[in-house]
Amino acid sequence: MTTAPIPANEKARLAALRELGLLDTEPDPSLDRITETAARCFGTPIALLCFVDEDRQWFKSRFGWGIQETSRDVAFCAHAIGSEQALVIKDATLDPRFADNPMVLGEPHVRFYAGQPLKGPDAQLIGTLCVIDSKPREFNDDERLILAVLGEAVERVLLVAWEREQQMVANRSAEALAELVDTTSFGVITTNDAGVIQEFNRGAEKIFGYTHAEAIGMQSVDLIPDATPGAVDAYFKPSREFEQEGDAKDRLLDGKRKNGERFPLALSISRFHQGGRYRYTGLVFDRSEITEAEADRSAFFGLSVDLFSIIDHDGRILRVNPAFLNVLGYSEEEL
């Protein structure tokens, strides 16, 4: 028996299989219909949808076969993922790779095997749709085409499942981020490029005294009535100051609460692009209760107990606050 060679792209292939998220999951009726169709179409007693894992082959869908998985060492499908073309074994007893394979010598007494490699969402070969018979047989070009078409049907079902899972992950991440933004001690205010407030978290409610409903639609100048003409536009619409997406600009200035009280605040603004237009998010910190010496230290960024970091488009860390360093144990230079 010859063990299938490990593909050169095995690490990426396994990562794609893991990302698909279907290993050890419940049967899928859509996939079961395809495997049953394959068995009936080719007149074979067995049809399987197999994922080739690191040390096993696991069957997501089974027709005429009771076992959920086998060792990868004995897997015909492990040989099939070495090429994008279907692997066809007309008589396994005559093929030196499989003649003494336990699945040939014992149940299910494989003689004929045809396996169509399956691609995951990122085109990595993750498994096969295969049909198996206990009798030798031929497999012509028309049959190869039919098996390939059924394989494409499986790939479409897998793609839909993957896209659904990705959307669920994105939704969970968005919900977690929204919760983080809403519960942080900072005020978080987002405006459009006209300075109209579109997001206003609980921290901002506490700082300025406005409710979320009251603040939405207000102008940023209502909260930051700087005496310098045009300064508010410079704070929340600093287009020329931003060399690239995500750049942050920090400022110390005055804010105005709902009751008219003026107070010192620190503001850090970042710009991002959404829906073809720029939006601006300001992190606001009330400096009323900190000492003058603390205020001179560039920031609320350094005073918060919340963890904050600024990264670039490539994920490189540009700046972190002391709380970030304390929790992770790195120095600023290391990060």
SS3 content of the chain, % helix, strand, coil (to 5): 35, 25, 40
Average pLDDT, the chain: 83
**Distance set, CA 207 to CA 60, 201, 225, 236, 293 (Å):** 54, 10, 15, 18, 21
Task: Choose the weakest-confidence range: 7-21, 42-56, 208-222, 267-281.
Answer: 267-281
Task: Choose the weakest-confidence range: 33-42, 143-152, 154-163, 243-252.
Answer: 243-252
**Mean pLDDT (whole number) for 212-233:** 72
Residue 84 is predicted with a pLDDT of: 92
Dist. CA 168–CA 333, nearest whole Å: 37
Residue 325 is predicted with a pLDDT of: 80
**Mean pLDDT (whole number) for 195-201:** 88
Q: In this predicted model, what pLDDT tens digit does every residue of 259-300 receive, in sequence order?
A: 999 988 888 777 776 666 777 888 888 877 655 444 444 555
Residue 121 is predicted with a pLDDT of: 84
pTM: 0.58
**Distance set, CA 42 to CA 34, 37, 60, 100, 155 (Å):** 12, 9, 20, 25, 20
**Mean pLDDT (whole number) for 230-256:** 52
* Structural domains of the chain, ranges and CATH numbers in brackets: 10-170 (3.30.450.40), 184-304 (3.30.450.20)
Q: What are 238's two structure tokens? A: 């600093």
Q: Name the band, by pLDDT with cuts 50, 70 and 90, for residue 19.
A: confident
